[in-house]
Amino acid sequence: MKKRNNILLVAVSFLIVLSAVGVVMYKGNDAAGANEKSENLIVLIGDGMGPPQITLSRLYAQEYNDLDQLKIDDYLVGTNSTHADNSPESNESGLVTDSAASGTAFATGNKTYNGAVSVTNEEVAKPVGSVLEAAKAAGKGTGLISTARITHATPAVYASHVRSRDNEDAIAQQYLDAEIDVLIGGGERHFVSSEKDAIFGEAAREDELNLVEDFKENGYAIAHNKEELLQVEGDRVLGLLADTHVPYNLDREGDTIPSLKEQLETAISVLEKNEEGFVIMLEGGRIDHAGHANDIHSIVQEMLEFDEAFAAAVEYAEKEGDTSVIATADHETGGLTIGRDNIYDAYLDVFEPVTASSEKIGLELADAKSEADIKDIVKEYTGIDDLSEDEVELIMSGNLLDGEPSSYEREGSFNAMMAKRSAIGWTGHGHTGVDVGVYGYGPAAEQLQGFNDNTDFAKAGAQALGLDMDKVSKTLQESYVYPKYLMTESDTYLFPVDALSETFNFEVEKEQNSFTINGNNVDITVKNDVEKVEIDGTAYEVQIDQDQLYIPIELIDSLAKENLTWDELSERIVIE
Ligand SMILES: [Zn+2]
């Protein structure tokens, strides 16, 4: 009798397990349906969040935060390759990507060169549309969030187009023109040109503009801290939380900076009023910065903040339905490893007590005058009170363990010391070319199972929402081209005739001593040895560089059938 009871119990629990599996399977099958669509998409990018960054943060969370694993671990679906397209000018194969090229791939589905923000890898580059711009075109709400400057490469690839990621003034202007509904991040300095307009004190715009005022006039609520952000009302928000990047978690004082989770929740509450749905991209931007510096504890803290935001995204999707969540990294940063020097262990307790980012500690180390100063600073921020003579010397030297100078100077040496003590390894201060994880929930994630190229990531998001990125690209390409150019000593922009002749349909003939150009019933002859040509009484500067003729926009305009002007800020030709 007793035995039968047991069998019955086993049978009952087997049934319970089966029905639970049934529910999960139904949910999975439902999401996997080929025609299944989402209305909303939340994309989360951990900049520099390679596999070791995840492992290290999980180990830390298990040890110190009483977690079984990270939230993101539950939603692993596949991997992304990360490589860029080749960059002939810098003589790089593209094997190791930067954030701009990788971002262009996972935002638009196009490979490009390192440094490019959603433009193609051509002498006359073309703009390519992102999933977020396609959402805008479809009437959906749009939002960008980052702990880096909001004009940094990862947010930029979703809503702007420039040849160089360094052109952050243009990126801010393009956000305004594109009417992105929610923008939250650092980087106030690229929105203002005068220090008196800068809440955080720094102004970096090289023109005279105050874009914050322009955003206000366009109906945006402006927020500069947590309190202001959490009480915004209306349909549009510009949250600028710092002059440059938002401070590392370890350096945040008081409670003035909203967490990424709070920023995401704010964005959702603003955008979900749109009946067509929304697309949000959220970036944990400083995981990468900590990786560059080799700052172990900051990586962990930035990762944990990102994981909390990921948890909030999937919680929303699971509760509301109609929402796909996909997450990945643009690349790994630093060549992080767990275990080193043949030690089969890692000592998290070495860096767990650290109370500031190495960026902050490094500023004090840079000012240290003596070995005693170094010991005091290290003790204050890490609790380490037994620095060896060799370690003190290393930090004083600004070198890495191999004796070569660190590009991070004493901060780099300090981190090298911390890594050695923790049995954590780094291969350098740059990016690496390894694959990264893909995580997610809902129809977009279902398409990303197994191994993907990072271009697939953009396409999966667009397909799950029924968005047409090609249409956006076509519209953009009808309005803009991004040629390479020269600048003369008198600051005149000159453009390559050969490359632009294909774009604008005119003829160029190169003869022994001259170029003859013909188009739109205009003939121009330029002798090889002249610096100016005169046309209709006006003199124009021209230049020959490496056998290529460069002429000003006025002449390109006269040769083309379209009306062309040069947009100096965004460094592009505008076609009217
Ligand atoms: Zn980076």
pLDDT single digits (tens) 173-217? 999 999 999 999 999 999 999 999 999 999 999 999 999 999 999
User: Structure tokens of 111?
Assistant: 């490979």
Instruction: Give Cβ neighbours of residue 35 (< 8 Å, ≥ 6 apart).
Output: none
Interval between CA 332 and ligand 1 midpoint (Å): 8
Measured between alpha carbons, how far is 184 from 238 in angstroms, rounded to an integer? Answer: 6
DSSP 276: T
Nearest residue to 135 via CA among 447, 476, 465? 465
Quote the DSSP letter at residue 162: B
Provide the pLDDT confidence category of residue 91 given band limits of 50, 70 and 90. Answer: confident
Q: Per-residue DSSP letters for 204-225?
A: --SSS-BHHHHHHHTT-EEE-S
Q: Amino acid letter at 532?
A: K
| Structural contact between residues 315 and 77, judged by C-beta atoms closer than 8 angstroms | no
Q: Is the pLDDT of residue 1 over 90?
A: no
User: What is the whole-number distance in angstroms between the Cα of residue 523 and the centre of ligand 1?
Assistant: 48
Exposed, middle or buried: residue 511 (CB in 10 Å: 0-12, 13-18, 19+)? exposed
In one-letter notation, the amino acid at residue 181 is D
Per-residue pLDDT tens over the stretch 285-304: 999 999 999 999 999 999 99
∠ CA 299-305-309 to the nearest 5 degrees? Answer: 135
**Separation of CA 242 and ligand 1 centre (Å):** 19
Listed residues: CB within 5 A of ion ligand 1 = 288
Tokens of 184: 């939250």
Strand partners, 509: 516
Rounded to the nearest angstrom, the distance between the alpha carbon of 159 and the centre of ligand 1 is 20
Tell me the C-alpha distance between 170 and 158, whole Å: 14
Q: Determine the Cα–Cα distance for residues 413 and 552; give it in Å rounded to an integer.
A: 50
Kindly report, residue by residue over 124-167, the tens digit of the pLDDT.
999 999 999 999 999 999 999 999 999 999 999 999 999 999 99
The average confidence (pLDDT) of the chain is 94
Q: How many whole angstroms from 461 Cα to the centroid of ligand 1?
A: 24
pTM: 0.93
- Token pair recorded at residue 146: 């980052």
Tokens of 154: 């990862």
* 290 Cα: distance to centroid of ligand 1 (angstroms): 9
pLDDT at 35: 56
CB neighbours (10 Å) of residue 196? 8
Catalytic residues: 99
